[in-house]
Each structure stands twice: as structure tokens, then as C-alpha cells.
Structure 1
Amino acid sequence: MLLFGLLSVTAFAAEQTSIQPTLHMVAMRDGTKLATDVYLPPEGEPPCPVVLMRTPYGRAGGRGEAQKFCKQGYAFVAQDIRGRGQSEGHHAIIFRNGGWAKRRDGHDTLGWIASQDWCNGKIATIGGSAVGITQNMLAPGAPDVLKGQAVVVAFSDMYSQAAYQGGVWRKSLLEGWLNGTGMSEVNLKSFREHPYYDEFWADMNPEVQAHRVNAPGVFIGGWYDIFLQGTINSFVTIHNHGGPNARGRCRLIIAPIAHGVFDELKYPPNSKMPPAAEASRLFDYWLKGKSNGAEEEKAVHYYVMGDPTDKNAAGNFWRQADNWPVPAEPTAFYFHPDRKLVRGRPPGGSEALSYRYDPNDPVPTVGGQNLLLAKGPMDQRKIESRPDVLLFTTDMLTEPLEVTGRIYAKLYISSDCVDTDFTVKLTDVYPDGRSMLVTDGIL
């Protein structure tokens, strides 16, 4: 009981000394009011730069970040997006409400912050996953007060990355997420009514709006993340084609992580994020003009994965580059009818391989870029022996082979099904026989 009492007093004291927010109901252009918490730094006189987080998960989730940034001289603003938490309105269409279409909740929020006497006219945004997506959506055409972004594991095009990857409905990811967060109403029906890319999806495709983004960003992703391609595409489009304040000033960080924890492989301690990924350091450079070394860093930082179970194996280190894609030699491997994967030599004949697909017994997903399913690098041997899987294997490598960049599979196919999907996986076969997933795709 005494220990409990001491812990309670300590927790109460910590709560009392923490920076407390003030709640504002901020009106959007259509009159809908969004619940917005404002944290002000304890020292120094306003105005000051501001960090903004817009979230569907509850603005109280930003309390920890608020304490950190306020102690560094920033104000911090956390907002429930439309229809979530204490905010008014309906959440549909999720993410589009905060973009550049009819509703522009992100732009309106930036404008409100800029009008406050505690804001010095310089605002950055921060957050991951859905909170990263809200950043990507508000960036095109944003008011000039937006000076930087820290976007973690977020899509750059909702249709191709979150809804219909390769034209295939991402049932577990999107339907599971909408149901799990209580946002399936209106959203799910609307998404299923648009199976092909059209104007509906164009309003949720920040990639094509990159030329209208005029603030630099650090885009952080993982080799096994559900939105890996979105992270890369955000960087490539804005860093190379953004407005004058964004072009050439962005950062790309790719680590050996997924959208959550994976268990079958554990990468060494050096796989943790490098200093280039620190949002506060970049914000100090972009918003405060501090010379802290960020201005001298390479634009791209990516982790080269190796076998983490063998301390003598190649790989497991960070590389840096000026841009993406990194310099590399495109290398072709060919499927051969004897089930070999051969470098540089196409098969001589026109043989075809076939399999029978049973929709009542599909090949299960085992690891990879998942949200709610098991994720990350997982051993594929349990499915490679199935009769509806065509397996092609190289000869044993005699020296390390480093592969970095976009991987394509060109298939020549025929099917007697009206509609079917094809999945291709790339695995790394370890000396002990494990076939560990590197990446996969579907069409």
C-alpha cells in the first residue's frame, strides 16, 4: 500500500508539472468545428514556431510529443480530424476532407494557427500512418506558413497503395482498418463503388499534386511497411518536382521495419533510425534556421538488410545517397522450365508451366507488407511446396549480391478464369534452408 501511495503521488506530481493544453473548437470553411488542443512552451515569449498533428485516433495521443516540442521552444497543436473524437461532422470521406478538394480542413487549420498571436508564421507537421497521411493530404496548395513535415509510413496514393494494390482490393488492410476504427460507414461503400482509378481517387492522390507542395519533408518508411512505395514516391515526387522551397530539400529514410512488430527476424542494434530521421533536428533547421549539420547530410539514408542470424553475413548497414533511385545496374533474371531462376539468360524454348487454382483453398498470406496479418520477413517453405505455387530458384550464390531498387516481374500468362490474381514473391534462401520473404506484389 505504501508503494502504491508513493507511485500515485509521483504520477500526480508529474501530471501537475506537465504542460497542459487549452481546448479550442476551430471552425472550418463550412462551419464545422474541430476539437483542437494547444500546448504552449513554458519558457520564452511568444510568438514561436508551431508543430501540428491531425489525427483520427484521438488528439490526446499527441501529449508526449507536445511535452517534448514545447520544451524545445515550439508550440504544439493536436487536432481530432472531422467526425472523430470531439470534432463535429462526419468522417467520410476519410482523408479527402483534409486535402485540396471541396473540404480543406488541413489548410483551414494551418490558417487558424497562423492567425494566433502565439504563432510566428512557421508551422511544421508530424505523425505516422494515418497521421502521416493527413500530412500528405494537406501539403498540396498549403498556405506558405507550412515550412516542414515529418511523414512516417504513409501512402502517397490511396487507390494503388491502400485500396486496390495492383488492382486487387486490400481487404484485410483497408476493410479491417475501417471496421476496427469504426469508420466503415459511408467510407467502405464508397471505396468499393470505385474499383478503378477515377476522379474520386484523384482527390486522394497527393503524388500528382507534388508540384504544388512547397515545404520540405522527411519521409520515413520500412522495407516491410504497407506503404513503402508511398514513402518512396512522396520523396521522389516532391524532392525532384516540388515547389522551390521543397525541391532538393527533402529526406528519405528506409529502415528494416514494418507497420508494427515482426518476430521471425531481429535486425542488429545498428538498424535503429539514424540522426537524419530526427524530426526535431530537421524542424530546427527548417523553421529556426539553426546550423546543426542537417543541411550537410545526404538526402537518402537506407538500410541494406542481410542475414541477421549470422554475424559474418554481408549487409546490415546503412548507406547514403543523393537521390532515389540509387545508382544501380538493372539486372534480369529469367524463369526457366526446369524451375531455375537464371541470371542474364532467357530460356531457349517456348515451354509453359501451369497450375490449378482453387478459390476455395487459396495460397495464404505469410508475412510481408501487412497491417493486421502477420507481417515482415517470414519463412515461406510452408507454402512453397503447394501444387498451386510455381517455385524458381537460383543456383547457390558464391558471393554476396546487393539488391536495391524497384523490382519488377514480367509475366506472360493465360487463364481460363474470368478473373484471377497473380502474386510474385522474392525470397532469400538461407544456408539452413529457410526461405525468408524479401518483398512481394500482386496483380
Structure 2
Amino acid sequence: MTSFPVRLAPLIGAVALAGFAHAQTAPQYAELPSETPAEFRAPDAGFNYVKRTVMIPMRDGTKLNTIIIVPKGVQNAPILLTRTPYDASSLVNHADSADLETILTGYDNAADVIAGEGYIRVVQDVRGKYGSEGDYVMNRPLHGPLNPTPVDHSTDTYDTIEWLTKNVPETNGRVGIIGISYDGFLPLMALVNPHPALKVAVPMNPMVDGWKGDDWFHNGAFRQINMSYMLEQVVTRANTAKWPVTNYDDYDMYLRAGSAGALGRERGLEQSGFWNKVVAHPAYDAFWQQQAMDTILARQPVTVPTLLVHSYWDAEDIYGAVAVWKAIKPHDTENKVFLSLGPWSHGGAIGDGATLGALKFGSDTALYWRQQVLKPFLARYLKGDERVPAIPTVTAFETGTNKWRSLPAWPSGAVEPVALRLAANQKAQLGGAADAKGYDEYVSDPAKPVPFRQRPIPPYGYDEAKGQTWPRWLVDDQREASGRTDVATFVSDLLTAPVKISGEPVAHLVASTSGTDSDWVVKLIDVYPDQVGSQPALGGYQLMVAGDIFRGRYREGFDKPKALAPNKALAYRIELPTANHVFLPGHRIMVQVQSSWFPLYDRNPQTFVPNIFFAQPGDYRKATQRIYHSSYVELPLVKAAQ
């Protein structure tokens, strides 16, 4: 760098100051007016609805962005509310259209029912997201030990309904709340100290218990596939930060990273308060227990008519709806709690329900449900039209036979637990005596974990155009796993009569590991005949009817992680998701057992460490796994025809 002589510095400074003064007094450029209006008011001539956007104040002064859509000409109409962390404006702007049903087509909107029945549609951003003020907390807990503030989703819903009933002149003062997933968790929150004007709740595929069986863990195994969601949902108000895709195959990305904790650090997740809570609470401690909505709602009878909606092949929240049903139905003395179970993926009840992956159901099951269950339910309880007959207590689609069943309870019928034994020679045997000595054996290698679906595994997402088929992976053909040497497979003889199950299969596994920790995955599978004339692609198809994972360290208690005794046969009880299925004659029943489901769940190092998020490369070791023939899957067998 060239330096000026010292004697020239004052002169240079004076010149600079003179130039600055000249710049301040020189004429300015003429102003060029902006072509963007301060506020654009879209003409709505020819529209069949009127849209209003308001900021509704909560009791602490925080204002929540709320979009109100009123069908033109309606009077004394009920309100159907959805609260969401997923951008209220996007939920009601699915197309530039003058038609109400067209703009509502998409996530959380049963558009044909909402538009066709004249409901006032209201969608609101929860506090801290998108257009709403305030701070965002994932699944914000109720006021209490985990939330010292006076506000939560229960109070925010109450305050929102209070404002709507007083400030929407077209309403009859009756409000319902509906939503899917996180938006399905929010109707459950609304049932806690509900507003008197709340007349109906429809929680669809709701998040209920993030540790036991919904989004974050399943029986202690961490669902690391959701790490991208955790980052994108929490670290910015409008989800502007994106999870980088570094590999074509997600299997490679997660394996390269090592532990979930290492990947989290690599991606900056430690900046997220929620991620730090998850990492700090790998066991089912008070943090998770106090947020479990089934436990919360079981404390008092539900006073609002509630329709719980469950999907048999829900890749996100397969636990929640049925868990809430089991918790609150025994206290339902006025028959206000209803359950629907359908052959759908997550949120599939608002889409096309004729197919799911390779499966064809012979009719649009979702359309049937919307027209025959949701529509009359809303009309009776939200419109107050008692001329509409009450829906059955339980409406359950029966897979295998592809029939809808109207039932008085769930499970229903003469259900008898029958053991499907994991016997010698890789046989699955209905009934009979147990073999107390024999076992099948495989080696589980964390360096080569069992993929949860056929590779390459696309990134987590919902964009079919990008190959993101995540929502339907639970109906993938399981032959990819049954051919591996690190998966124990047991198959029944050819069925000569139908075998119907209704309820939750329970795996009673007796197993040992040469390590000091282990995961156990159990899958109940319907094996199709080698040839299916009506649909050749289903020849020999292995359809998972129910499956789940269990982290071995929690064998003695979900809140008490404990090392496993090496090479000792130990008993495990693993509850599988609800099924309503008929194994048809000519089919077989299969059970698969394995010790990884990757990268859906993080790898168990198979060496006990205090916190698997912080497992080191040297902790991951091969283990010899034995599945003893005293193991069985308890099938909820229906003996009498319904």
C-alpha cells in the first residue's frame, strides 16, 4: 500500500471536506414514484365469497393474523376454524379464483363440504408464525410447569372464538374447529376449558404424544427423518431457512453424519430451542409426559362433540387419534366422542381415497367419508340440525375386503387374542404350543443398517414431482427387507379361511443381543398370492398391516433407560398400530423382525451410552441378535362376523 507524506495530509483532508459539502448542497434527483400501491384491494365482483384479514387480540395483547372467508349472501352461518403454524394465507389461496371451493382445495380443507355447506371459513396463524405476533414454541404446552405464561393454545382458541362470535355479523354464533397433524393437535387443545360457542371438534391425524408414537420418537427411537422439519419450522418465523440436501440418497446423508446429534450440529440445529429440548430429553420424562394430550384430556369428560380421524398408514402421527379415543371414550357418558378409521396416508381423508400406492380400494374412500361422515356430523352438531341422524360411534374401513363398517365401539365384535407364534423353520403359526428353546439368529451391523424403504431414499417431503413419496411409504412392498440376512422372517402356511383382526396387535418378543442396547422392529405383513389376476403388480406383494420400533433400553420403563444384559433372553412387549384387516384365503401372514429402520430412525449403537444423540463412532458395534421361538404376536382376532 502507498502512503502519503505527512505534510500533505491536511491538504487532502480539506479537499475531502469541501467535496462532502458540495455533495450536500448539490441538487437532488427528482423522485420516481413507486408503482406498488401502499395497499392493494382486489376487486371481488363475480366472486362467490368475501375475504377479510384481521389481527385478533389475545388476552396478553398479542395479535394473531386471521383470515375470514364468508360465502356471499350467507346469514346465520356457523364458523369452521383452523389454527395453523403453516401459513394461514397459503391454506386459503390454493388458486387465483373467484370460486370458494377452488381456493380451499388443499391441506386442511375438506373443500367440497366446507364450500358446499355454506360454512364461514376462518384460518389463523398461531402465535409466533407468519403473520401473527408473539413467540413460537413447538406444540406450546398448556399453562403450567412447562409454560409459566398465562397463554397457550387453549386460551388463544378461546379468545379467538370470543372475538369471532362478536365481530363476524354473518355468523350464528356456533363455531367448529378442524385440522390435520399439528393443526389436528390444536382442536385437542381447544377441548381444554372450551369456549361455550365451540360446538364441534374434528382432530384429524393429530399430534398427541411426540415420544410414544407420533412425530419425534417411537418407543424411544428417534425419528431423525424429521430433523429437516424441526429446522425449517422453528428457526424462522416464515420457514425461510431450508434444510440443505447434500445427497441424492438420504440413507447416505444420515449414515455419513454418524449420530443424529452430530448431524444436528452440522446443520446448526443447536440454534433451535426445540431441538435442544429434544436432545436433552431422550427418555419419557416429565417433559414429554406433561404434554401428552391423551393424558391431559382423560382428566375430565369431553363436553364438545368430537370426531377423531385416524389413518391406517399414517407416516407421521399413527399413534395419536386412537390413543385419545382410548383415553376419553370411557368417560363419554353422553356419546359425544366418535372415531373414524380409513385406509389413508397422513391427512388422506381430504384427498383422493381410491388408491394408496399400489393398493386400490374399489371406491373413493375419502369422498365417502367426507360425504357420509364429516358432512352429517358437522350439520348435526355445528349447524344444530337435529333432523340429521347421528353418525355411528365408529366408522371403520375394513382393508382386505375393502368395506366400510358402522360399529358401536372400537374394537368391535367378538375379539379374541390369538397367538401368532414365531416358530422354527421360519414359520408363523396361528395358535399351538410355544417352543421354549429354539431361536433364529442374525447379525445387526450399524455400518449397514436396514433401510426403511427401497433405496435410493428421497428426502422427506410431499412433492410427488420431485419423487418425494414419503406419505405412502408404509404401503411399500416389504420384499426388500425379507430377503436380507439381518432380518428374521416368519411366514404362515397358505390361509384357507379369512383371518380378521380389529384392534392393536401386540408383539411379545423374547430376544437377546450380544450388545448392551438394541432396537427391535416388528412388522405384521399380509403376503399376497404369487399371482393376482386383477392387479398383476400385486403378485407376491408384502403389505405391512402394522409395524413399529422399540428401543431396548426402555424395556423396564420408558423413563428408565437401562443397559441390556448381553446374551440374555429378555421379554419385550411392543404395541403395534391399530388395524382393521382381513387376511384373505390364498394369502399368508408374515412377521419380520429386525434391529434398524434407517434412516427413518437413528441407529442404535448397540452399546449402551447415556444419550444416543451423543454416541461416538467407536460406540457403534455389530451384535448377534436372537429371536426365540417362544415369541409371538398377539392378534386381536374377530371370531364373529360383523
Q: Which TM class, normalised by the smaller chain length?
A: 0.7 to 0.9
CA offsets 1:195-248 (integer angstroms, 9 cap, x no match):
222332244321112225321111222110132331222233333325x6xx41
Which letter does structure 1 place at the counterpart of 2:473?
K
Tell me: higher relative CO, structure 1 or 2? Use CA pairs within 8 A at least 6 residues apart.
Answer: 2
Contact 2:48/2:72, CA 8 A, preserved across alignment? no
Structure-1 separation of matches of 2:284 and 2:60? 28
Offset, 1:189: 1.9
Structure-2 separation of matches of 1:187 and 1:415? 33
Offset, 1:158: 2.5
Distance 1:355 1:44, change over 3 A: closer
Q: Which residue of structure 1 aligns with residue 306 of structure 2?
A: 217
Which letter does structure 2 place at the counterpart of 1:325?
P
Structure 1 consecutive aligned stretches of length 4 or more whose deviation exceeds 6 Å: 12-15, 97-100
Does 2:259 match 1:165?
Answer: no
Q: Which residue of structure 2 aligns with residue 227 of structure 1?
A: 317
Which letter does structure 2 place at the counterpart of 1:403?
I
Offset, 1:69: 4.1
Offset, 1:20: 2.8
Offset, 1:257: 1.0
CA offsets 1:120-144 (integer angstroms, 9 cap, x no match):
4421001212211221222222222
Q: Which residue of structure 2 aligns with residue 42 of structure 1?
A: 72
TM-score computed with the length of structure 1 as normaliser: 0.85
In the alignment, which of 54, 60, 85 is matched to residue 56 of structure 1?
85
Offset, 1:91: 1.8
Contact 2:209/2:320, CA 8 A, preserved across alignment? yes
Q: Which residue of structure 2 aligns with residue 82 of structure 1?
A: 127
Contact 1:19/1:67, CA 8 A, preserved across alignment? no
Secondary structure of 1:338's partner?
A: helix
**Mean CA deviation greater in 113-122 or 332-341:** 113-122
Q: Which residue of structure 2 aligns with residue 329 of structure 1?
A: 416
Q: Rg larger in 1 or in 2? A: 2
Structure-1 separation of matches of 2:114 and 2:436? 64
Secondary structure of 1:257's partner?
A: coil
Does 2:379 match 1:284?
Answer: yes
Contact 1:216/1:239, CA 8 A, preserved across alignment? no
Answer 1 or 2: which has greater strand percent. Answer: 2
CA offsets 1:325-364 (integer angstroms, 9 cap, x no match):
2222211111113211111113334123222111111111
Which letter does structure 1 place at the counterpart of 2:139?
I
Distance 1:438 1:371, change over 3 A: farther
**Mean CA deviation greater in 73-82 or 36-45:** 36-45
In the alignment, which of 208, 216, 241 is matched to residue 331 of structure 2?
241
Q: Which residue of structure 2 aligns with residue 263 of structure 1?
A: 357
Structure-1 separation of matches of 2:167 and 2:279? 41
In the alignment, which of 399, 404, 423 is matched to residue 305 of structure 1?
399
Structure-1 separation of matches of 2:326 and 2:305? 12
Distance 1:122 1:240, change over 3 A: farther
Distance 1:221 1:412, change over 3 A: same
Distance 1:324 1:191, change over 3 A: same
Offset, 1:182: 5.1
Secondary structure of 1:298's partner?
A: coil
How many positions carry a matched residue from both structures?
A: 416
Structure-1 separation of matches of 2:328 and 2:434? 41
CA offsets 1:44-84 (integer angstroms, 9 cap, x no match):
545x4321110111112135258964774433321011121
Distance 1:418 1:29, change over 3 A: farther
Secondary structure of 1:20's partner?
A: strand
Which letter does structure 2 place at the counterpart of 1:224?
W
Which letter does structure 1 place at the counterpart of 2:123?
A
In the alignment, which of 195, 199, 205 is matched to residue 147 of structure 1?
199
Alignment of 1:17-36 (within 5 A): 17-36=47-66
Q: Which residue of structure 2 aligns with residue 96 of structure 1?
A: 141
**Mean CA deviation greater in 349-358 or 100-109:** 100-109
Structure-2 separation of matches of 1:67 and 1:396? 44
Contact 1:40/1:70, CA 8 A, preserved across alignment? no
Which letter does structure 2 place at the counterpart of 1:400?
P
Structure-1 separation of matches of 2:143 and 2:45? 32
Question: Which residues of structure 1 form unaligned runs of 5+?
Answer: 1-11, 307-314
Offset, 1:151: 1.9
**Mean CA deviation greater in 100-109 or 422-431:** 100-109
Distance 1:255 1:71, change over 3 A: closer
Which letter does structure 2 place at the counterpart of 1:236?
K
Structure-1 separation of matches of 2:370 and 2:389? 9
RMSD, aligned CA: 2.9
